[in-house]
Structure formats: C-alpha cells, structure tokens
C-alpha cells in the first residue's frame, strides 16, 4: 500500500497516461454516426464548459477561495473537466447499454485527469499520499547526541572535513515529537538528516525548523531536496531540519497561538519541539545557528515566533507568509479567538510586536511570488517592519511565481543562499 501512496503523480509519464486515457474516453463518447448526436454533444460540451468557466470565476474572483490568482492551466483543466462531464451526462440518454457503462466510467476518469493536471500546476503534492494527506515517510532512526562532543571555534566549512564514505544524499523520515508541555495534538514531524549527520563522527549542525501551509502535511521532501543540492556542493554540510506540525490533523488555522479552541501551538513549537531537538539531535546550541521558517500559514508563524522569542531564534525565513495570525478571516478570528477584543488581536501581529523593539542580530529572509499580490503586500509590510526594527533583512520576489510550488521551492533556495554563510556552512 505504501508503494502505491509513494507514486509520483506529477511525473510526465503519469500525467501523459491520464491525459491519453481521458481523451480516449472522450472520443469514444463523442464519435457517433449521427448529425443529431453531434449537435446534442456539442451543445452539452459548450454549455458545461461555460458552466465550468463561471464556476471558476466565482471561486477565484468573487469568493476569493484561494486568495491567489489561478493560472491559465488551472482554468484549462477545470473548464475541460466540466465540458467532458457534460458530454458524459448526455451520453446516458438514448444510448446503448455499453455506452452508458462507458459514460459512467468516464466520469471519474475525467475528474482524476483534471485533478492530476491541476495538482501538477500547483506543484505541492508530488505523491499520491501527499495529495490524500497521508504521510509516506518511515520512522527515521536517530543517534543520541554526544553531550561531551566539543564545538570547534570558527565556521564548520573551515573546520570539518568529510570522511571518504560521506553519503551523497541525506536521509528523511518521521518522528513523533511528544507534546509534553503543550498537550497539542500534532502529527509526526518530518526529519531531514544531511549527509554530514550520517557519518561515524558527525559534527554538530545548525537547526532548521520549518512549518508548512494550511492545509498541508509536515512533509520533509521540499526542504530535503533543497538541502541535498546544497550539501553536495559543501562537503555534505547542511542544517538538520524538522518539519513541525502547527495545524494538527484537523487542518485548522490555529493562528500559531495558545488558544482554548485549537490548543497550545505556540508552546508546542517553542518548547516541546525545541526541547526534543536538544535531546535527540546533534545540533549546535546557540541562537545564531537556529532558524525558524515557514511557508504560507507557516510563514506567519515563523516571523511571529522570531519576534516573540529572539533569544531562541537567530534567523527567520518567511516564504509567502500571511501578514498576521488568521489574516484570511480576521473578523471571524477576532470573535472566535479574541472575544471581540481588537487590542488583544492587534498585540499578536508581528508588525506591532516589533514596534519599539530592536533585533540587531537577527537575519530575516522574506520571499513571495511576483504573481501573488496579496502575499507580496504582506511580505513587503512585514519585511519593512523587520528592517526598521534592526534585523538584517533580505526581501525577494520569485519571478513569475504564484503562491504554490515554484514560490515554495524558490523561497527555500533563496533562504538557504542567505543563511549558509551565516550558519558557517559555506564561505
């Protein structure tokens, strides 16, 4: 079963196969030696296609469900799916039994083909398991850190030499991080151990804690891909990464706060995850080597934690993050979480927390896709506040990037490009 869940549904072979099968069903239903049928079929295709266009327009422009613009490919797949389903619907009438069967089977075929195409365009769920919200990673084995190991002075790139058998790539898996202090119901965290961590006498390495979007999985595949490429260029050196769960199995926007409604998320990340990392990972102990990072919902969490706990987090990477907790529904969150207390809500917004404070030794990276106006505005606002508060700030817009796969991958790449020298992993 796990092998099926690991199927890469964004691979060209899978997408091509799904497209060919869908086209074959479409042609079987459409091609009938009857002028009347052709008129009926074309009418159904056009009407259903227009309904599809109208539905996407309502979802994107009127309801703003995704808070980002949908690409032309998403529009194409959505409208094509509606049009094909229109053809399938009229194929049930005045047709032979075998054609009714084909029409029935074609419905899930059309939907699956469109779903695969749209998913590939978003670029966030590479495997079937990821698309279904099911982790496919195995539990990773960890060696207890040696508390007596010395920490050499100077940067790692200068002081550590890899053994001949250093692996070419790192290792990923999962670990349950107990919610000892917080009691928060978190899913198992994704873990990435870089090549240097897998050697017989590994050095202590920087810590990188990442939080993904909502909805989403604590999936280590994105950070592992970025870090494996960098480790290959830097003698196997990379941070040890934890992809922590800040939203829980119900996929809630928890606002990354300690609340009666969603649980103690802030405590979970900044106490339970941190204490577990200290006890179980061979990491450097100082804030200069610790990074809190996040994408989308997780990006807001990252900058919030960085400004609330500056003695813990020396670095922050905010990738396409929201401007403040619960920014997608501020009115609802004001009532549900803060009981209508606007001052209490405003006090949790990063730009307000930074006012009157100074963060002279914090490195911050803010990124957003250039085609993602809501999150570009958020990144500009928060990065400006961070710069005014004394952080060393890098702001970067991903060219032609929206809010999904390209923005995430390029954001991680930019973040590590800035952080590697700071963390002592490269010149």
Say how far apart CA 83 and CA 78 lie, in whole Å: 9
pLDDT at 421: 97
Q: Of 62, 90, 122, which closes a domain? A: 122
**Span 293-334, pLDDT tens digits:** 999 999 999 999 999 999 999 999 999 999 999 998 999 999
Paired with 139 in beta bridges are 174
Confidence at 64, pLDDT banded by 50, 70, 90: low
Q: Is residue 128 part of a domain?
A: no
Tell me how far apart the alpha carbons of residues 66 and 328 are, in angstroms, rounded to a whole number: 10
The proportion of the chain whose per-residue pLDDT surpasses 70, expressed as a percent, equals 96
Residue 69 has pLDDT above 80, yes or no: no
- Token pair in block for residue 4: 């099926």
Q: Are 9 and 63 in the same domain?
A: yes
Question: Is 129 a member of any domain?
Answer: no
Q: What is the pLDDT of residue 6?
A: 72
121 or 12, greater pLDDT: 12
Give the span between the Cα atoms of 139 and 162, in whole angstroms. Answer: 26
Give the E-state strand segments of 343-415 in sequence order. Answer: 363-369, 392-398
CA-to-CA dists, residue 124 to 33, 74, 220, 269, 407, angstroms: 43, 14, 12, 23, 10
In this predicted structure, what is the pLDDT of residue 2? 63
Which of 63, 91, 122 finishes a domain? 122
Q: Which domain holds residue 96?
A: 2-122
H-helix or E-strand containing 204?
A: none
| Percent helix / strand / coil, the chain, rounded to 5 | 45, 15, 40
Same domain, 269 and 373: yes
Position 65 scores a pLDDT of 61
Contact predicate 234/272, CB 8 Å: no
pLDDT above 80: residue 70: no
Q: Of 63, 93, 122, which residue constitutes the final position of a domain?
A: 122
pLDDT category at 148 given cuts 50, 70, 90 is low
Tokens (6 digits) for 139: 């539990």
Q: Are residues 195 and 342 in the same domain?
A: yes
Beta strands 363-369 and 392-398, pairing class: parallel
Please check whether residue 269 lies inside any domain of the structure.
yes
The answer to the question of residue 132 being in a domain is no
* 138-164: average pLDDT: 84
The SS3 of residue 172 is strand
- SS3 for the chain is CHHHHCCECCCHHHHHHHHHHHHHHHHHHHCCCCHHHHHHHHHHHHHHHHHHHHHHHHHHHHCCCCCCCCCHHHHHHHHHHHHHHHHHHHCCCCCCHHHHHHHHHHHHHHHHHHHHHHHHHHCCCCEHHHHCCCCCCCECCCCCCCCCCCCCCCCHHHHCCCCCCCCCCCEEEEECCCCCCCCCCCCCEEEEECHHHHCCCCCCECEEEEECCCCCCCCCHHHHHHHHHHHHHCCCCCCEEEEECCCCCCCCCCCCCEECCCEEHHHHHHHHHHHHHHHHCCECCCHHHEEEEEECHHHHHHHHHHHHCCCCCCEEEEECCCCCCCCCCHHHHHHHCCCCCHHHHHCCCHHHHCCCCCCCCCEEEEEEECCCHHHHHHHHHHHHHHHHCCCEEEEEEECCCCCCHHHHHHHHHHHHHHHHHHCCCCC
The residue-averaged pLDDT of 415-422 equals 98
Let me know whether 44 and 170 are in one domain: no
Do 155 and 19 reside in the same domain of the chain? no
Q: 293 and 251: one domain?
A: yes
Same domain, 163 and 92: no
Residues 61 and 93 in one domain: yes
Whether residues 202 and 87 share a domain: the answer is no
Q: What is the mean pLDDT of residues 5-18?
A: 83
Asked if residue 1 has pLDDT above 70, the reply is no
Domain count, the chain: 2
Cis, bond preceding 215 (omega within 30 deg of 0):
yes
265 lies in a domain?
Answer: yes
12 vs 152, residue with greater confidence: 12
Cα–Cα distances (Å) from 249 to 4, 89, 119, 140, 245, in that order, read 22, 37, 21, 21, 9
Q: What is the pLDDT of residue 67?
A: 55
Residue pLDDT, tens place only, 259-296: 999 999 999 999 999 999 999 999 999 999 999 999 99
Quick one: pLDDT at residue 145? Answer: 85
pLDDT, tens digit (0-9, with 9 covering 90-100), for 77-131: 999 999 999 999 999 998 899 999 999 999 999 999 999 998 887 766 777 777 7
**Do 177 and 74 share a structural domain?**
no
Q: How confident is the model at residue 61 (pLDDT cuts 50, 70, 90)?
A: confident
User: In this structure, what CATH number is given to the domain that contains residue 281?
Assistant: 3.40.50.1820
Same domain, 284 and 361: yes
Tell me the CA distances in angstroms from 270 to 179, 234, 284, 290, one per residue in order. 11, 29, 16, 12
Same domain (yes/no): 14, 141 = no
Structure tokens belonging to residue 283: 């990491």
> What value does the mean pLDDT take over residues 205-224?
94
* CA atoms of 290 and 365, how far apart (whole Å): 14
Over the range 32-45, which residues count as b (16 or more CB within 10 Å of their CB) and which as e? eeeeebeebbeebb
pTM of the model: 0.85
Backbone angles phi, psi at 127, to 5 degrees: -120, 165
Answer yes or no: is 427 within a domain.
no
Block residue for tokens 């009418």: 43
Least confident among 127-141, 371-385, 406-420: 127-141
- For residue 365, is it within any domain? yes
* Residue 131 forms part of a structural domain: no
User: Which tokens in the block code for residue 25?
Assistant: 């069903």
| Cα–Cα dist 422/155, whole Å | 9
């Amino acid at each position: 079963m796990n092998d099926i869940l690991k199927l890469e549904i964004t691979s060209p072979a899978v997408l091509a196969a799904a497209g060919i099968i869908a086209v074959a069903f479409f042609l079987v239903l459409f091609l009938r030696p009857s002028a009347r049928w052709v008129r009926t079929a074309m009418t159904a295709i056009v009407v259903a296609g227009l309904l599809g266009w109208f539905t996407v327009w309502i979802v994107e422009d009127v309801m703003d469900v995704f808070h980002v613009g949908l690409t032309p490919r998403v529009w194409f797949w959505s409208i094509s799916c509606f049009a094909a389903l229109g053809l399938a619907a009229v194929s049930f009438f005045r047709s032979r039994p075998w054609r009714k069967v084909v029409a029935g089977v074609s419905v899930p075929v059309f939907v699956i083909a469109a779903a695969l195409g749209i998913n590939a365009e978003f670029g966030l769920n590479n495997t079937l398991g990821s698309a279904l919200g099911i982790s496919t990673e195995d539990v990773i084995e960890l060696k207890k850190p040696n508390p007596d190991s010395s920490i050499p002075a100077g940067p790692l790139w200068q002081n550590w030499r890899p053994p001949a058998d250093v692996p070419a790539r790192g290792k990923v898996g999962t670990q349950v991080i107990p919610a000892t202090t917080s009691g928060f119901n978190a899913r198992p965290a994704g873990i990435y151990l870089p090549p240097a961590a897998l050697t017989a006498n590994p050095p202590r390495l920087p810590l990188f804690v990442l939080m993904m979007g909502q909805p989403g999985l604590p999936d280590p595949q994105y950070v592992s891909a970025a870090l494996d490429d960098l480790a290959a260029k830097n003698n196997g050196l990379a941070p040890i990464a934890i992809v922590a769960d800040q939203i829980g199995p119900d996929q809630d926007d928890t606002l990354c706060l300690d609340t009666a409604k969603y649980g103690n998320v802030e405590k979970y990340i900044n106490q339970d995850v941190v204490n577990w990392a200290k006890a179980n990972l061979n990491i450097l102990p100082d804030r200069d080597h610790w990074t809190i990072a996040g994408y989308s919902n997780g990006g807001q969490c990252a900058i919030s934690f960085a400004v609330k706990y500056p003695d813990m987090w020396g670095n922050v990477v905010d990738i396409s993050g929201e401007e403040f907790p619960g920014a997608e529904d501020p009115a609802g969150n004001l009532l549900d979480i803060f009981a209508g207390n606007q001052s209490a809500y405003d006090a949790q917004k990063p730009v307000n927390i930074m006012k009157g404070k100074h963060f002279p030794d914090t490195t911050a990276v803010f990124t957003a896709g250039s085609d993602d106006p809501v999150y570009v505005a958020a990144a500009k606002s928060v990065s400006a506040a961070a710069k005014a508060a004394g952080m060393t700030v890098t702001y970067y817009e991903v060219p032609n990037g929206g809010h999904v796969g390209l923005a995430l991958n390029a954001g991680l790449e930019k973040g590590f490009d800035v952080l590697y020298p700071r963390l002592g992993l490269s010149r």
